[in-house]
Amino acid sequence: MIELESGALRARVLPYGAVLQSLEVGGVNVVLGLDDPADYLTRSRYFGAVVGRYANRIAGGRFVLDGVEHTLPVNNGANSLHGGVKGFDKHDWTVARSSPKSVTLSLTSPDGDQGYPGELTATITYTLDGDALRLDYTAVADAPTVVNLTNHTYFNLAGGGDVRGHVLRMDAGRYLPVDDGKIPTGELASVRDTPFDFTTPTAIGQRYGAAYDHCFVLDGGIRVTEPVSGLAMEVATTEPGVQFYAGGMLDPTATPYGPFSGFCLETQHFPDSPNQPHFPSTVLRPGERLKSSTTYRFTA
């Protein structure tokens, strides 16, 4: 376990899954985590983990790259989710370097790992800086591959209870409609006059039964406010999208948490991009370096 501290923020990071186990803001833990690290082997719904090699879903567990079809294990109905049966969240990462405010972890995924081509080396750096937590990702590969990295932290700015009263404002004028398997239809649809319009502050539970598990096309930042305490979290990212999941499928029989105990804002490229060429590309080629950054800033 690695402990970080800066100002009012304190964090704990685990090498297993590069998990953000806890994040305290003014003494209140605002993320869902498991007290016993061993529980991440059996009781985690990706709590705080870095997911990859490809975050989110790939339709049918297959994609074609440079004319070659690659087959992935399916672990979400007919689709591959979060890198497959043993994604990056189920590996021990190596601590490359650390300081009181920052830690960098690395993972090398061999050629053919979960069906993905090329050896890929990924890093994640967690940095506390005053009132902000910054996540910096890198990746390089020795052969053409696809990669989409994100962090799957569940937030609850009240430190407990139901998050449907949290107020969300998201600068996103479009979202990705999905089919029954949660695979994007390919449309980038306007949020106007739909339950997906968070361009003005809206309680998470106000519409749609809070059944959100959708990718939004970002035009700017995100702000979430917990109305009782007044604690707010602002999210800025270099990624083109964010998967907003309201936590409605959390199962108290399998984890310590019930539905709507936390929400996720997984900054990332779009789901199923390898099969949808009009989406921003997730192809990484030798000699290129993936670089991505997301900052979560907390204010009272």
Percentage of the chain with pLDDT > 90? Answer: 99
Sheet (strand 19-25) strand order: 2-6, 9-14, 19-25, 28-29
Query: How confident is the model over 40-60, as pLDDT tens digits?
Result: 999 999 999 999 999 999 999
Rounded Cα distance, 93 and 107, in Å: 5
Active-site residue, 5 included: no
State the Cα–Cα distance between residues 12 and 35, nearest whole angstrom.
Answer: 11
Q: Is 24 exposed, middle or buried (0-12, 13-18, 19+ CB in 10 A)?
A: middle
Side-chain half-sphere of 284: how many Cα atoms within 13 Å?
A: 25
pLDDT, tens digit (0-9, with 9 covering 90-100), for 249-264: 999 999 999 999 999 9
Q: What is the domain-level CATH number for residue 89?
A: 2.70.98.10
For residue 227, pLDDT over 90 is answered with: yes
Cα separation, 54 vs 269, whole angstroms: 9
pLDDT at position 197 is 98
Consecutive H or E run containing 289: none
**Residue position matching structure tokens 């995100």:** 222
Is the CB of residue 118 less than 8 Å from the CB of residue 144? yes
What is the DSSP code string of 10-66? EEEEETBTTEEEEEEETTEE-B---SSGGGGGTS-SSTT-EE-SB-SEEGGGEEEET
Band of pLDDT at residue 19, cut at 50, 70 and 90:
very high
| Residue that has been written with the tokens 């936590």 in this structure | 247
Other beta carbons less than 10 A from residue 161's beta carbon:
12
Residue 79 labeled ligand binder: no
Copy the structure tokens of residue 214: 């959708």
C-alpha 290/C-alpha 146 separation (Å) is: 11
- Measured from the Cβ of residue 265, the count of other Cβ atoms closer than 10 Å reads 24
The verdict on whether residue 207 carries a ligand-binding annotation is: no
Please determine, for residue 300, whether its predicted confidence score (pLDDT) is greater than 90: no
Flag whether 152 is marked binding.
yes
Domain that holds residue 47: 2-299
Percentage of the chain lying above the pLDDT 70 cut? 100
Tell me the pLDDT band of 38, cut-offs 50, 70 and 90: very high
pLDDT value at residue 248: 97
Average confidence score pLDDT of the chain: 97
pLDDT at 198: 98
Do β-strands 189-190 and 167-170 pair in parallel, antiparallel, or remain unpaired? unpaired
pLDDT value at residue 236: 98
User: In total, how many domains does the chain have?
Assistant: 1
Confidence class of residue 27 from pLDDT cuts 50, 70 and 90?
Answer: very high
pLDDT tens readout for residues 100-111: 999 999 999 999
Q: For residue 241, name the pLDDT band (cuts at 50, 70, 90).
A: very high
Catalytic residue among 91, 152, 166, 269: 152
The annotation status of 94 as a binding-site residue, yes or no, is no
Note the pLDDT tens digit of each residue in 140-158.
999 999 999 999 999 999 9
Catalytic residue list contains 82: no
